[in-house]
Amino acid sequence: MWFKNVLHRTKSMDVIIIQQQTPEKPPISGNGGEPGPILRREGLSRKERPKSLSIRPNYSPADNSRGFFRTNTPSPTEYRFNIGKAKQENNVMMLKLAKAEQQLHEALEKNKVLQDKLSERGNQLEDVKRQVKMLTAKLEREIQSSGDLYNKVKELEKSIQNHSQLNGSLVTDNNDNEVSLDTSFLNESIEQLEDHLRRRSITPIGDLMLSCTLCNARIRIDELESHSVKCSSGNAKKANGSGPKSPTQPGMLVATVTCAQRKGSIVGGGPEECNSFKVICKTTIPEYKQTLLVSERTKEDFLWFRKTLEVLHPERIIPPLKFQDDLAANLREIQRFLSRTCVHKVLKSDSLVRKFFEATNKELDELRRNLEAKLPSPMKHHKPAVEVEDQDGVLYKTQKYVSQLLMNLESLVEHFRSSNNKTGDGLSQCFKMLSEGEPADTYLKSITSSLSSIIRDLENKNSVIYDESVLAEDLESILDMVQSADELLCRVENCVNTFLYWEEEIRVFEEMKTEGLVTSSNGKDITHLWAEASSNCRTAKDELERMCRHLSEELKEFDYRKEQELKQVFIEYAESRFDVFEKMQSKWFGVKLMLDTDIVPSLRAIDFNDPNS
């Protein structure tokens, strides 16, 4: 049987397959008629056969028992590896495709959102265009109306001018009869207006309104004295039906102080007539026994209370408290002290603050004696031999800021004090001399006299409009609070220096021991000094840690509270100045009306027809 071998090459792998076919003609062979393999590739001649194609050596017909042989055929392991690799690449491509589809979906969603926004902006733009069109039309109508009003005013001015020209002249009626215009009522009205302006200013002092610093009530100046006595005795709040405001949130403490009225005492009369103050406290803090607390405290009680707080809490900024000789000023100062204490996050829940509000006078005296016996003596401060300033440190920067703030606030307070005490009569005196120099009641005499009176009131703030002493007092209280913060920073600096001092002492003793300077004669003393320095160093370290544990929180709260108080003071100042300018505007409007009066020809300073001349 003759064989014809046809070779095929697949696309996926390099395998040559030999097919057996019955030849039409016996092949020509050099092996004595033995059939030999005919190596061909479909569509290719022998010369075109690739060089990579080879046949196993020592081939015999017995090797062709299966009917095929392989050339460059991968092993099963390689085959499985190639299939796994192809699957892996396929999976990677599928993931990339899924990711690309997701990105495309997100891009489409984003594009849709942007289109919606663009449509919305377009609608808004159309609305704005319509509004602009409406406003433009309205503005044109207003302009037209203004023009009509202007023309009417001009016509009225011409009419008034014509009437003034006809003053005292003769005109004819419809019957051509001469009629005399009676304009005496106009002269009488002008004279009445002039007389009214001479006798009374446009804005009398008694009509000015002030705000009470104790009860925030609006009062007239002529009611100031009676209201001061009434408000200082606590009757103003009672009459208004309002005591201290009730706390609206948990953990709040609100305190109000008034002057305690005793039998036989005259409240508001002098500095020594009221030394006892009534403190009304409302709270929602659970540590307090009651929600409403009422007690009476003296000046000495308040001073002891603040001093004890400063000893027990050296790491805190204790609000300032400075008494004066004025009762109303002392009430305001105590109120500021209590308000700042009540809003402090730590002090409002302190046991001493709670006992100060709750205890009776007898219990407070007993508490004072017990605390004075138990209060620790303050540690003596030292400075190291070498002091180093860290200009990039937070403590140094804070001290520098607080010092600069103190200087600026002192300058501001001094300005308000000096401007409030300043009096001037230069311009008013000039107008007064002009008025007194007129021999007759001329226009110049009456006008300059009124100008002198008004300008004197405007120049001397103590006598009219606004008293800035309360504003300076509020700023001075804030200045004292900043001074308290500066004192806290000084205490922290002293603790740092004391700790460094004792640390330096320990290092000196250790160097003496290392260098062999400790002998049997001085060893006992040096050991005692070293133990004392170690104990003081530990105490100084504990004190420093206590001072710095809540320092950042304390300074942050102080900074915020300071700006809150300054904001309130500046708002009150702006409102008061607004009221001042309103009153000044009314005054100068009256001056303008007064200046626009007619000059009476018969009243002359130089009159040759005067029989006395």
- pLDDT tops 80 at residue 14: no
* Last residue in a domain, options 99, 127, 155: 155
Confidence (pLDDT) at 306: 93
Mean pLDDT along residues 13-20: 43
CA distance 446 to 451: 9
- pLDDT tops 90 at residue 463: no
Q: Is residue 209 part of a domain?
A: no
Residue of higher predicted confidence among 34 and 386? 386
| DSSP letters for 224-237 | HHHHHHHHHTTHHH
- pLDDT tops 80 at residue 575: yes
| Type of residue at 364 | L
Q: Same domain for 408 and 544? A: yes
Q: Same domain for 467 and 371? A: no
* Last residue in a domain, options 376, 407, 438: 376
Mean pLDDT along residues 50-75: 50
Mean pLDDT along residues 584-609: 76
Across the chain, what does the average pLDDT equal? Answer: 74
Confidence (pLDDT) at 239: 38
Whose tokens are 């003793």? That residue is 509
Confidence (pLDDT) at 607: 66
112-116, 379-383, 535-539: least confident range: 379-383
Residue of higher predicted confidence among 593 and 118? 118
* Last residue in a domain, options 104, 131, 155: 155
- φ, ψ of residue 53 in degrees (nearest 5): -80, 125
CA distance 112 to 120: 12
- pLDDT tops 80 at residue 191: no
- In whole angstroms, how far apart are CA 311 and each of 60, 217, 334, 377, 498? 116, 38, 20, 9, 18
- pLDDT tops 90 at residue 66: no
| Type of residue at 488 | L
418-432, 494-508, 532-546: least confident range: 418-432
Confidence (pLDDT) at 267: 41
Q: Same domain for 305 and 417? A: no
Percent of the chain at pLDDT > 90 equals 16
- pLDDT tops 60 at residue 563: yes
Q: Same domain for 522 and 406? A: yes
Mean pLDDT along residues 106-116: 89
Q: Same domain for 358 and 466? A: no
Domain extent, residue 97, equals 81-155
The answer to whether the beta carbons of residues 209 and 326 sit under 8 Å apart is no
Residue of higher predicted confidence among 387 and 24? 387
- pLDDT tops 80 at residue 19: no
Residue of higher predicted confidence among 41 and 344? 344
Mean pLDDT along residues 345-361: 91
Give the model's confidence band at 223: pLDDT under 50 very low, under 70 low, under 90 confident, else very high. Answer: low
| DSSP letters for 373-395 | HHPPPPPPP---SS----TTSHH
| Bridge partners, 210 (sequence order) | 219
Q: Is residue 67 part of a domain?
A: no
Q: Is residue 5 part of a domain?
A: no
Q: Same domain for 550 and 414? A: yes
Q: Same domain for 141 and 253? A: no
Q: Same domain for 142 and 106? A: yes
Confidence (pLDDT) at 490: 92
- pLDDT tops 50 at residue 65: no
Confidence (pLDDT) at 536: 87
Confidence (pLDDT) at 201: 43
Mean pLDDT along residues 377-404: 82
Number of domains in the chain: 3
Q: Is residue 310 part of a domain?
A: yes
Sheet with 253-259: strands ordered across: 253-259, 276-283, 292-298
Q: Is residue 493 part of a domain?
A: yes
- pLDDT tops 60 at residue 55: no
Q: Same domain for 343 and 415? A: no
Mean pLDDT along residues 207-212: 54
Residue of higher predicted confidence among 450 and 611? 450
What's the chain's length in residues? Answer: 613
| DSSP letters for 21-41 | ---SSPPP-SSTT-------B
Give residue-wise pLDDT tens across range 318-327: 999 999 888 8
Residue of higher predicted confidence among 149 and 532? 532
Helix (H) or strand (E) holding 211: strand 209-211
The CATH number given to whatever domain includes residue 303 is 3.30.1520.10
- pLDDT tops 70 at residue 222: no
Confidence (pLDDT) at 481: 93
Q: Same domain for 416 and 339? A: no
Give residue-wise pLDDT tens across range 237-278: 333 434 457 777 888 899 999 987 654 444 444 444 567 899
Mean pLDDT along residues 599-612: 70
Q: Is residue 371 part of a domain?
A: yes
Confidence (pLDDT) at 426: 73
Q: Is residue 192 part of a domain?
A: no
Q: Same domain for 253 and 351? A: yes
- Residue 252, Cβ neighbours under 10 Å: how many? 16
Q: Same domain for 362 and 417? A: no
Q: Is residue 549 part of a domain?
A: yes
The CATH number given to whatever domain includes residue 570 is 1.20.1270
